[in-house]
Structure 1
Amino acid sequence: MKHTAAATSAVLLLLPLTACGGTAEAGDGSTITVTVGYQSKTINTVTAGTLLRSLGYFEKQLDALHDGHTYKVDWQDYATGAPITAQMTAGKIDIGSMGDFPLLINAARGKQLGKPTRLVSVTGYNLRGGLNTIVTSPDSKLGSLEDLRGKKVSTSIGSAADGTLVRALQRAGLDPDKDIEKLNQQPAVGASALAAGSTDALSQFVAWPGLLAFQGKAKALYDGAQLNLPTFHGVTAREDFAKKRPAVLEAFLKAQSEATDYLTAHPVTAAEKVARATSLPAEVVYLYNGAHGIATFDPAIKPQLVSALKEDVSVLKSAKLTGDVDVDAFVDDQYVRKALGPTYTKRLAATPAPAASEVWPKGATTTRTFKSPAELLSYVGKHRSGIRAAYVPDATTGTLWFADQAIWVTDGDQLLPFVAPSTAQSYVAEHGGARVITYADALERAS
Structure 2
Amino acid sequence: MNRTVIALALTAVIAAGCSLDTTASADSVEVVVGYQSKTINTATAGTLLRARGYLERRLADITARTGTRYRVDWQDYDTGAPITAQMLAEKIDIGSMGDYPMLVNGVRTQANPQARTEIVAVTGYHPRGALNMVVVAPESRADTLADLAGAKVSASVGSAGHGTLLRALAGSGASVEVLNQQPQVGASSLESGQVQGLSQFVAWPGLLVYQGRARLLYDGAELNYPTLHGVVVRRGYAKDHPEVLGAFLQAQLDATDFLKRKPLEAARIVAADSGLPQEVVYLYNGPGGTSFDTTLKPALVEALKNDVPYLKSIGDFADLDVDGFVDDRPLRAAFAERKLDYDKAVGAVDEPATQAGELWLDGSDSTVTAADPTALLQAVRAAGERGDRIRAAYVHDTELGTRWFADKSAWVRDGARLLPFDTTAGAQRHVAAHPGSVVLDYQQALAGAA
Structure 1: distance between partners of 2:344 and 2:261: 18
Q: Tell me the TM-score normalized by structure 2.
A: 0.90
Structure 2: distance between partners of 1:38 and 1:436: 41
Structure 1: distance between partners of 2:146 and 2:359: 34
Question: 1:326-405 maps to which residues of 2 (within 5 A)?
Answer: 326-341=321-336, 342-352=340-350, 354-355=352-353, 356-384=356-384, 385-405=388-408
Aligned-residue Cα RMSD (Å) equals 1.4
SS in 2 for 1:364: coil
Structure 1: distance between partners of 2:215 and 2:96: 29
Contact 2:256 2:293 in 1 (8 A): yes
Contact 2:80 2:159 in 1 (8 A): no
Residue 135 of structure 1 is matched in structure 2 by 135
Per-residue deviation, residues 386-418 of structure 1 (Å, max 9, x unmatched)? 211001100011111100000101101111111
Letter in structure 1 aligned against 2:163: G
SS in 2 for 1:133: strand
Structure 1: distance between partners of 2:349 and 2:25: 42
Q: Work out whether 1:307 is the aligned partner of 2:302.
A: yes
SS in 2 for 1:139: coil
Residue 100 of structure 1 is matched in structure 2 by 99
Residue 284 of structure 1 is matched in structure 2 by 280
SS in 2 for 1:297: coil
Structure 1: distance between partners of 2:193 and 2:228: 31
Structure 2: distance between partners of 1:344 and 1:297: 15
SS in 1 for 2:378: helix
Q: Work out whether 1:52 is the aligned partner of 2:55.
A: no
Contact 2:24 2:71 in 1 (8 A): no
Per-residue deviation, residues 310-335 of structure 1 (Å, max 9, x unmatched)? 11111110001412211001000100
Residue 8 of structure 1 is matched in structure 2 by none
Choose the corresponding residue for 1:297, options 261, 277, 292.
292
Residue 7 of structure 2 is matched in structure 1 by none
Contact 1:24 1:34 in 2 (8 A): no
Choose the corresponding residue for 1:265, options 246, 261, 277.
261
Structure 2: distance between partners of 1:108 and 1:444: 54
Letter in structure 2 aligned against 1:198: Q
Residue 16 of structure 2 is matched in structure 1 by none
Residue 418 of structure 2 is matched in structure 1 by 415
Kindly state the Cα deviation for residue 215 of structure 1 after the two structures are TM-superposed. Answer: 0.3
Bigger Cα Rg? 1
Q: Tell me the TM-score normalized by structure 1.
A: 0.91
Specify whether residues 25 and 335 from structure 1 end up closer, same or farther in structure 2 by C-alpha distance, changes over 3 A only.
Answer: farther
Kindly state the Cα deviation for residue 291 of structure 1 after the two structures are TM-superposed. Answer: 2.6
Letter in structure 1 aligned against 2:302: S
Structure 1: distance between partners of 2:341 and 2:261: 17
SS in 2 for 1:141: coil
Residue 70 of structure 2 is matched in structure 1 by 71
Question: 1:223-238 maps to which residues of 2 (within 5 A)?
Answer: 223-238=219-234
Kindly state the Cα deviation for residue 113 of structure 1 after the two structures are TM-superposed. Answer: 3.3
Per-residue deviation, residues 287-320 of structure 1 (Å, max 9, x unmatched)? 1111332x11011111111011011111110001
Kindly state the Cα deviation for residue 78 of structure 1 after the two structures are TM-superposed. Answer: 1.1
Structure 2: distance between partners of 1:445 and 1:39: 42
Structure 2: distance between partners of 1:309 and 1:418: 29
**Greater Cα offset, 83-92 or 404-413:** 83-92
Structure 2: runs of 5+ lacking an equivalent: 1-22
Using the aligned pairs only, state the percent identity.
54
**Structure 1 runs (4+) greater than 3 angstroms displaced:** 23-26
Letter in structure 2 aligned against 1:38: Y
Choose the corresponding residue for 1:246, options 209, 229, 242.
242
Structure 1: distance between partners of 2:168 and 2:425: 12
Residue 438 of structure 1 is matched in structure 2 by 441
Per-residue deviation, residues 222-249 of structure 1 (Å, max 9, x unmatched)? 0000000000100000001111211210
